[in-house]
Amino acid sequence: MTLVGALSLGCTSMAHGAEYLGSKDPALQNLPFSEAVRSNGMLYLSGQIPAIPGTTDIAPGGIRGQARQVMENIKAVLERNGSSLEQVVKCTVMIENMADWPAFNEVYVEYFPGPKPARSAFGADGLAFGALLEVECWAED
């Protein structure tokens, strides 16, 4: 089976010591990236948008509703792959409107009540499926 075929089935494939982890979510199986990659004790998540699981529909509720859905999506990917929010060491946030930054942070800190991961952020114009934000994370495996 080719790497593309393995990923489309949600399987795992190895290359150069990295393990490429595909999604088992049918709505995500044909997208051109891995849900996560495991390498050298780290789990690198692809950016998560606020899609309702099993769909490409964006969660309602403006920036707060979308922030909550993004964080729930991140939590689910981490847990499916043997990690957790407590093991996140770095996040990158892409946000459509920097004026929404304070509202995003209100939700974000609920998911990281203890030590906060290192974080970068930047304004973005035109995120996938019309999302207001996208967040990617790195976590210890």
**Domain encompassing residue 117:** 3-140
Measuring CA to CA, which residue among 137, 117, 131 is closest to residue 63?
A: 131
> What are the CA-CA distances from residue 71 to residues 2, 36, 59, 63 (Å)?
32, 15, 12, 12
At 138 the three-state DSSP class reads strand
**pLDDT tens, per residue, the chain with 141 residues:** 233 333 334 545 565 788 776 766 655 566 666 789 999 999 999 999 999 998 889 999 999 999 999 999 999 999 999 999 999 999 999 999 999 999 999 999 999 999 999 999 999 999 999 999 999 999 998
Tally of structural domains, the chain? 1
| Residue 42: both structure tokens together | 């780290």
CATH number reported for the structural domain that contains residue 59 in this entry: 3.30.1330.40
Please give the pLDDT value at position 31.
Answer: 64
Q: Kindly report the length of the chain.
A: 141
The CB density around residue 99, as the number of other CB atoms within 10 Å, is: 10
Contact 51, 73 (CB under 8 A): yes
